[in-house]
Chains A and B, each alone.
Chain A
Amino acid sequence: MDSGGGRMSTTLAFLGDFGDAFDYIFNSRESQAGGARVGGTELLPLLWTHLKVTALAMAIAIAISLPIGLALGHTGRGAFAAISISNTGRAVPSVALIAFFVAFFPSTPEFWNVTVALALLAIPPILTNAYVGVRQVSRDAVDAARGMGMSGTQIVRSVEFPLALPLIFGGIRTSTVNVIATATIAPLVGVLTLGDPIISGSVHGRAGQIGASIVVAALAIAAEVILAAVQRAVTPTGIKLERGGAVGSPSRLGTLKRRIQTAP
């Protein structure tokens, strides 16, 4: 019954694998059975595809959800729609969405099938947060703007949008992290992202699986940090001061609350 020793050596092996994983990230090597190069600079095309897919999916998602979310929030109508979309969006497994596009649009290049699927996944958090963000804007500010003679669009642009920015950015950050994580399953349908080393362990080895996971995690964290900085840069100073400190770092839980709406 002595499995303790076996587990110990597996754990040690696991820790040793970490060193190998870092080596995989920076130095290319022969694949597990030989014949192909993996790791190191071979990761760059995978990274590039991963970034391309993420950036395009986010661009499409923002272009669609931001105007709709702002419009719904401004008019106050469509609360049910906004909340329902958020709920249903969470219920759709990312795999199912990608599979749907692959099955129903076989002649479209798989890159676009995956990108559109990811864009759809990214919409709910942004849409909901845009809606809620606009609803949260103080009525006084809106009334004052209306009193000054601003039209509806002007109000949205000059008053509601800037005041809703923190929440909107929260949604964008959530979506970006989700998309980065979900893009790891794209290799299952032929789009080679950083998920390839993770899924094809027999080609890239344990080191590849762990190494690629570390790179994806680092990518997600970098996206968070960069978007937080952009958020700070773009939020009007008045709001920053009003909230007492840099926007984007309110209570820890507040940040987390905005972060997690859906998951990969």
Chain B
Amino acid sequence: MIELVFAQLQRRDRSGADCVADNGICPDWIADNFDRYVTPFWEHVYLTLVSVAIGFAIAFGLALLAHRWRWLASPITQVTGIFYTLPSVAVFFLLLPLTGRGNTTAIIALVAYTLLILFRNFMAGFENVPAEARDAGRGMGLTERQLLWGVELPLALPEIMAGLRIAVTTTVGLASLAFLAGAGGLGEALFDDINFRSNVLVAGGLAIGLAVVLDLLILGLQKAVTPWTRAAAA
């Protein structure tokens, strides 16, 4: 190799003890490095919202089918339940060769997990509709469709929204593992340096914070769309 004169990088003086070297909780470091968490945070938000949205749509469709044809309820529950016994980590890795690294793989796995939660809450919601309400509706001459959309779904809303809350918080948790499928997220930030306390605190804190905020948002939404439950409680 030819002898070349290489430019040397500035060597930093690391002899002094400082917060980062002592593996502490360092506000200065957090302030300086906070923008590293921005992209993972929004990746996490994206994964959560998209997965729950798709899961909600699919579960809703399945619930309508099971509502129409009762015998479907059990098989659907079985199939969605199978996804539940598989460890989430496994689903990420097993899908990799089929769908490649990236968001698609993660979202498919996350959607599969939400299906059981959302589907059974839809069905529980339907089950909870008082028979009198249905009878009253039929008595008023409503068609099956009008009954479904006008009576049953609104009355099932509390259970549906409760399921949505559980699905969202669960998905935030699972999305922390999405980095194993190459989809980024706060889990990636966490494992970037799992020994550094400041990093664990920020990455973990953001994930918890996200779950809490989304949970409260849906709770607020639930209270808004079911005013009669508020009246009952009051």
Contact = CB atoms under 8 A, between A and B. Distances in A.
Interface of A: 10-11, 14, 87-88, 90-97, 99-100, 102-104, 106, 177, 180-182, 184-185, 188-189, 195, 198-199, 201, 206, 209-210, 212-213, 216-217, 220-221, 251-253, 256-257, 260-264
B105 to A, nearest CB: 13
Contacts of A212: 90
Instruction: Name A's interface SS.
Output: helix
Contacts of A260: 84, 116-117, 120, 166
Interface string B176-197: 1100100000010011001111
Nearest to A91: B211
A185 B173 CA distance: 13
A87 B89 contact: no
B116 A99 contact: no
A15 B133 CA distance: 49
B49 interface: no
A99 B186 CA distance: 12
A213 B87 contact: yes
Contacts of A264: 87-88, 173-174
Interface stretch (B34-42, B135-143, B201-209): B201-209
Nearest to A104: B197
A99 B87 contact: no
B208 A90 contact: no
B94 A210 contact: yes
A185 to B, nearest CB: 6
Interface of B: 23, 73-74, 77, 81, 84-90, 93-94, 97-98, 113, 116-117, 120, 123-124, 127, 166, 169-170, 172-174, 176-177, 180, 187, 190-191, 194-197, 199-201, 203-204, 207-208, 211-212, 215
19 contacts: A14-B97, A87-B169, A87-B215, A90-B166, A93-B172, A96-B176, A99-B204, A102-B200, A103-B194, A103-B195, A213-B86, A216-B90, A217-B85, A217-B86, A256-B120, A257-B120, A260-B84, A263-B173, A264-B174
Contact of B203 (A92, A96, A180): A96
A11 B117 CA distance: 28
Contacts, number: 146
Given A91-B212, A93-B173, A102 B195 contact: yes
Contacts of A189: 194
Contact of A93 (B73, B97, B207): B207
A14 B180 CA distance: 20
Contacts of B174: 93, 263-264
A166 B169 CA distance: 26
Nearest to A251: B127
Nearest to A121: B173
A260 B206 CA distance: 25
A117 B201 CA distance: 15
A151 B12 CA distance: 70
Contacts of B113: 263
A217 B87 contact: yes
A94 B169 CA distance: 12
A184 B124 contact: no
A90 B170 contact: yes
Contact of A185 (B120, B172, B177, B208): B177
B146 to A, nearest CB: 25
